Structure 1
Amino acid sequence: MTAEPGSLDEVRARIDGLDAELVRLLARRQRMVEVAARFKVDEQAVRDPGRVERVIEGVVRLAAEKGLSPAVAEAVWRAMIGAFVDLELDEHRRA
């Protein structure tokens, strides 16, 4: 386990590193969203509110297990999913 940071600069540097990891993971997620869009026949299939709620429920449950605030996890995932749905809808409309 890594020792706790000894200064604010070190905290910020570690956060910057985590942000870089998150961007890499989000790029991978985006690629899967783009692939999924090919299988969807209409905008309702893109929006799929039932799927969104199942994802949120799973993430909130996992967050609680892993020490992440469930409220933070829900807010982040709702924003992320909303942004990816918008991206997917744009792609779907162009196709």
Structure 2
Amino acid sequence: MKTPDACASLADIRLGIDTLDAEIVALLGRRLDYVLAAARFKTDEASIPAPERVAAMMPDRRRWAEQAGLDPDFVAGLFDILIPWFIQRQIIHWRQQYGQPQPTDGGAA
């Protein structure tokens, strides 16, 4: 992949963007692996959301955004979308591994 300044065409630019987007998706998958592994250390389902952890991690994400030349509010907004989704995946995983399995028929019993 060429650097942005070395790109000689729109096709080069699009290839770079597509390559980076694939890396972002792969990194989200790796993050999910860690989130699911964390379930091993949760004593019960109620301990999964950990709002104190979420609050503690946001200043770092904002700082990292600034260091990368990004708008910290934009990055915080992304994490405001990502974090609840990852928490829900961990809850589902925890229930399957350690609690009650989730119904597969939409919840009807």
Q: Tell me which interval the TM-score lies in, with the shorter structure as reference length.
A: 0.7 to 0.9
Match for 1:92 among 73, 76, 94?
94
Q: How does 1:37-56 map to 2 (within 5 A)?
A: 37-56=39-58
TM-score, with normalisation over the residues of structure 1? 0.86
2:94 maps to a residue whose letter is: H
Q: Per-residue CA shift, 1:23-46, capped at 9, x if unaligned?
A: 111111111111111100123321
Q: How does 1:1-95 map to 2 (within 5 A)?
A: 2=3, 3=5, 5-95=7-97
> Relative to structure 1, is the Cα distance of residues 86 and 17 closer, same or farther in structure 2, using a 3 angstrom cutoff?
same
Q: List alignment gaps of at least 5 residues for structure 2.
A: 98-109
Please state which structure has a larger fraction of its residues in helix. 1
CA-based RMSD of the aligned residues comes to 1.8
TM-score, with normalisation over the residues of structure 2? 0.76
1:45 maps to a residue whose letter is: S
Q: List alignment gaps of at least 5 residues for structure 1.
A: none
| Higher RCO (CA < 8 A, seq sep 6+) | 1
Contact 1:56 1:78 in 2 (8 A): no
> Tell me, what secondary structure is at the counterpart of 1:24?
helix
Runs (4 or more) in structure 1 with deviation over 2 Å come to 4-13
Q: CA–CA distance in 2 between the matches of 1:6 and 1:76?
A: 31
